[in-house]
Amino acid sequence: MTNPQTTGDQDVVDILVADHREVETLFVELETRQGTPEHRRQLADVMIAELVRHAVAEEAYVYPTARKALPDGDQLADHEIEEHSDAERTMKDLESVDPTDPRFDELLAHLTSTIRHHVQDEESDLFPRLRAAAAREELVELAAKVTAFKKVAPTRPHPAAPDHPPANKLLAPGTGMIDRLRDALSDRPTSMDDLREKQQH
């Protein structure tokens, strides 16, 4: 999602908020129900890949920081991870539904509602509190870690995978490599750049 060259002076909140805006753009386009079923499938695939990378990076780096830095960090992190799990189950279902099936839009509506609530929680509560409690240098360092981690993170939902560190840190890079191999073999777009390239051909 985020261009690694732009992370120099940005903190992790800047990176994650930019991710949120990119996913919201995909939601809005999907909600218009415009375009061919193939295009909608591609948009959904990119959205799922972006959300999975983002969530795994948050679980690996951001939520552990919240647990240490905030007095109620454990409860906050557990709540956010629970929301990720709900979204991941929905994404797993959405992966296998044809865009012409009425369930596609039902699942999409549930997912967008879940993610928008999650984004609101993070941006109005968790992120401002994290910025107030953690040193700027630590948040800038986290931005670099999150950006690098997303390059090797999974691109597909794995609802049964562990979602607490250190297990997710150990699983995610290997899972990410397997996902990327499957994505390459299926010619499936997993980023906005992939989608633009497909549209040009």
Selected residue with higher pLDDT from 8 and 34 = 34
Task: For residue range 189-199, list pLDDT tens digits in order.
Answer: 665 565 556 55
Task: For residue range 96-136, list pLDDT tens digits in order.
Answer: 999 999 999 999 999 999 999 999 999 999 999 999 999 99
Task: For residue range 132-181, list pLDDT tens digits in order.
Answer: 999 999 999 999 999 999 988 888 776 555 444 444 444 444 454 445 44
- Tokens 């994650």 belong to residue: 16
| Residue-level pLDDT at 167 | 45
| Residue-level pLDDT at 168 | 45
Mean pLDDT over the full length of the chain: 83
Burial class (CB in 10 A: 0-12, 13-18, 19+), 155: buried
| Residue-level pLDDT at 160 | 55
| Residue-level pLDDT at 198 | 55
| Residue-level pLDDT at 173 | 46
Q: Give the integer Cα–Cα distance in Å for 19 and 56.
A: 13
| Residue-level pLDDT at 141 | 96
pTM assigned to the model: 0.78
| Average pLDDT value for residue range 39-57 | 93
Task: For residue range 51-68, list pLDDT tens digits in order.
Answer: 999 999 999 999 999 999
φ, ψ of residue 134 in degrees (nearest 5): -105, 150
Q: Give the integer Cα–Cα distance in Å for 13 and 132.
A: 12
